[in-house]
Amino acid sequence: MERDNLLKLMHRKRHLKIGLMGGTFNPIHYGHLVTAEEALKQFMLDKVIFIPSGKPPHKTTGSLASTEDRYLMTVIATASNRDFMVSRVEIDRKGRSYTIDTLRYLKDIFKERATLYFITGADAILEILTWKDPKEITNLCKFIAATRPGYDISRIEYLKKKLFKDADDNDQHIFLMEIPALAISSTDIRSRIKTGRPINYLLPESVCNYLLKHELYK
């Protein structure tokens, strides 16, 4: 079903620009949503696909809500935006969730008819060399690195030179995008819930109601 929905996207245009928003979304909040919307508009993307991770290799699972809870919260948060969709590819895949496997899956669907833009925080981009098969990853997609105001971008520039030293200067692979709302974090939201502090206006009300109803992060 999901594969069919992705294939339908290709009937819209000859070539698509698809944003991929990966993360644990534990829980999803306005920082994620603002980042996705800004990337959509700024880079003229046709769609942003949110991809909740199943078993992230770089994070412990102790503080993670269940995969289904995180998936449902992401669906709830994005339901009102027709330019957003949510994929179960990493939720349903057995074993660890590696970005390279997801990119291979999507590339197999879109072939050469889409350019993939992986949207994530600048700090995560700096860890790309520790990801599985980083060279192949950079061949399969471009990156949109979301930064906070005042973020030191020198480390990103160094990474670009290290990863793409042989690339043409006009062929950019990592794009920077400043997002003020990135001051919001899932870690802080979980801490607030645990200590009884307010979380209103940090995430969609529907997501807030869901996690409170199901007593997540207590």
pLDDT digits (tens, 9 = 90+) for 146-185: 988 788 888 888 888 888 776 665 567 899 998 876 678 8
Q: Where are the strands (E) in 56-173, listed by range?
A: 84-86, 114-121, 142-147
- Indicate the fold that domain 2-184 takes in CATH: Rossmann fold (3.40.50)
Q: Where are the domains of the chain?
A: 2-184
- Dihedral (CA of 182, 78, 37, 109) sign: positive
Q: Answer for the pair 160, 142: CB distance below 8 angstroms, yes or no.
A: no
Question: Residue 176 corresponds to which amino acid?
Answer: L
113-151 pLDDT, tens digit per residue, is: 999 999 998 888 888 888 999 889 999 999 999 988 788
**48 is written with which tokens?**
């942003």
H helix intervals, 19-98:
30-42, 67-78, 89-92
The distance between the two most distant Cα atoms of the chain, rounded to a whole number of Å, is 52
- Dihedral (CA of 89, 66, 77, 122) sign: negative
pTM: 0.91
DSSP code for 113: S
